Amino acid sequence: MLHEITDREASAKARDVDLKVGYQGEPGAYGEVAAAAHGGIPRGFASFEKLLEALRDGDVDEAVLPMENAVVGAITEALEPFAAFVTEGMELVAVDITSVPVRLSLAARPGTPLAAVKRAWSHPAALRQCTHRLAQMGIERVVCYDTAGAAQIVAHEASTDAAVCSRRAAERYGLAVLVEDVSDKEQNGTRFVHLRMADHARAQVSLAFLRTSSMTATGRLDVLTGATLLPLAGTTEYPVRMWVLGADAARLQALAPVRDVQVISLGQPAAHAAKVTPPRQGTEPVIKSLPHATARRAPTVVEVGPLRLGGGWRAVIAGPCSVESAEQVMRIAKEVASCGATALRGGIFKPRTNPYAFQGHGLEALDWLVAAGKANGLPVVTEVMAIDQVKPVAEKADVLQIGARNMQNFDLLRAVGRAGRPVLLKRGAGSTVDEWLGAAEYIMAAGEMRVILCERGIRTFETSTRNTLDVGGMLAARPLTHLPIIADPSHAAGRADLVEGLARGAWSAGADGLMVEVHDDPARALSDAEQALVPARFAELARNLALHPDARLPLAQLRAWVDAIDHDLGVLVQRRLEVAKVIGDSKRQTGRAVLDPRREAAVRRTYQEALPGSKGLADKLVDLLLEAAKAQQSIDED
**Ranges assigned E (strand) in 234-349:** 240-246, 265-267, 302-304, 307-309, 315-319, 343-345
Binding residue (CB under 6 A) for ligand PEP from 123, 194, 426, 478:
426
- Residue 351: which of ligand PEP, Mn ion, none does it interact with, CB under 5 to 8 A by kind? ligand PEP
| Rounded Cα–Cα distance for residues 319 and 337 (Å) | 9
Nearer to ligand PEP, 450 or 519 (CB): 519
* Residue 491 to residues 294, 430, 537, Cα–Cα distance (Å): 26, 14, 17
| Rounded Cα–Cα distance for residues 426 and 317 (Å) | 14
| Rounded Cα–Cα distance for residues 35 and 41 (Å) | 7
Exposed, middle or buried: residue 342 (CB in 10 Å: 0-12, 13-18, 19+)? buried
Nearer to ligand PEP, 27 or 505 (CB): 505
What string of DSSP letters covers 29-51?
Answer: SHHHHHHHTTS-EEEEESSHHHH
Nearer to Mn ion, 154 or 372 (CB): 372
| Binding residue count for ligand PEP, defined by CB under 6 A | 10
- Tell the smallest beta-carbon distance from residue 555 to ligand PEP (Å): 30
Point out which span in 51-59, 103-111, 334-342, 400-408 binds ligand PEP (CB under 6 A): 400-408
| Rounded Cα–Cα distance for residues 93 and 1 (Å) | 10
| Rounded Cα–Cα distance for residues 632 and 635 (Å) | 5
Binding residue (CB under 6 A) for ligand PEP from 491, 519, 531, 584:
491
Tell me: does residue 319 bind ligand PEP (CB under 6 A).
Answer: no
Alpha-carbon 20 to chain mean position: 38
Tell me: does residue 443 bind Mn ion (CB under 5 A).
Answer: no
- Residue 305: which of ligand PEP, Mn ion, none does it interact with, CB under 5 to 8 A by kind? none
Q: Are 339 and 354 within 8 A, CB to CB?
A: no
Binding residue (CB under 5 A) for Mn ion from 71, 528, 535, 545:
528
- Tell the smallest beta-carbon distance from residue 515 to ligand PEP (Å): 7
Tell me: does residue 95 bind ligand PEP (CB under 6 A).
Answer: no
Point out which span in 15-23, 173-181, 307-315, 401-409 binds ligand PEP (CB under 6 A): 401-409
Tell me: does residue 404 bind ligand PEP (CB under 6 A).
Answer: yes
Q: Contacts with ligand PEP in 336-355 (CB under 6 A)?
A: 347, 351
Tell me: does residue 456 bind ligand PEP (CB under 6 A).
Answer: yes
In sequence order, what are the beta bridge partners of 454?
426, 486
Tell me: does residue 379 bind ligand PEP (CB under 6 A).
Answer: no
Nearer to ligand PEP, 240 or 525 (CB): 525
> Helix, strand or coil for residue 87?
helix
Nearer to ligand PEP, 254 or 483 (CB): 483
Which sequence positions are flagged as catalytic?
Answer: 190, 192
- Strand order across the beta sheet in which 105-108 lies: 140-143, 119-122, 162-165, 105-108, 176-179
Point out which span in 109-117, 398-406, 408-416, 553-561 binds ligand PEP (CB under 6 A): 398-406
Amino acid (one-letter) located at 77: E
Nearer to ligand PEP, 15 or 456 (CB): 456
- Tell the smallest beta-carbon distance from residue 245 to ligand PEP (Å): 37
- Tell the smallest beta-carbon distance from residue 494 to Mn ion (Å): 9
Point out which span in 82-90, 316-324, 355-363, 507-515 binds Mn ion (CB under 5 A): 316-324
* Residue 166 to residues 64, 169, 185, 303, 481, Cα–Cα distance (Å): 18, 5, 15, 60, 46
- Tell the smallest beta-carbon distance from residue 366 to Mn ion (Å): 17
- Residue 426: which of ligand PEP, Mn ion, none does it interact with, CB under 5 to 8 A by kind? ligand PEP
- Tell the smallest beta-carbon distance from residue 527 to Mn ion (Å): 6
In sequence order, what are the beta bridge partners of 424?
401, 452
- Tell the smallest beta-carbon distance from residue 321 to ligand PEP (Å): 5
- Tell the smallest beta-carbon distance from residue 403 to ligand PEP (Å): 3
* Residue 277 to residues 67, 357, 508, Cα–Cα distance (Å): 22, 56, 53
Pairing of the two strands 92-101 and 307-309? unpaired
DSSP state of 470: -
Residues that bind ligand PEP (CB under 6 A): 321, 347, 351, 403-405, 426, 456, 488, 491
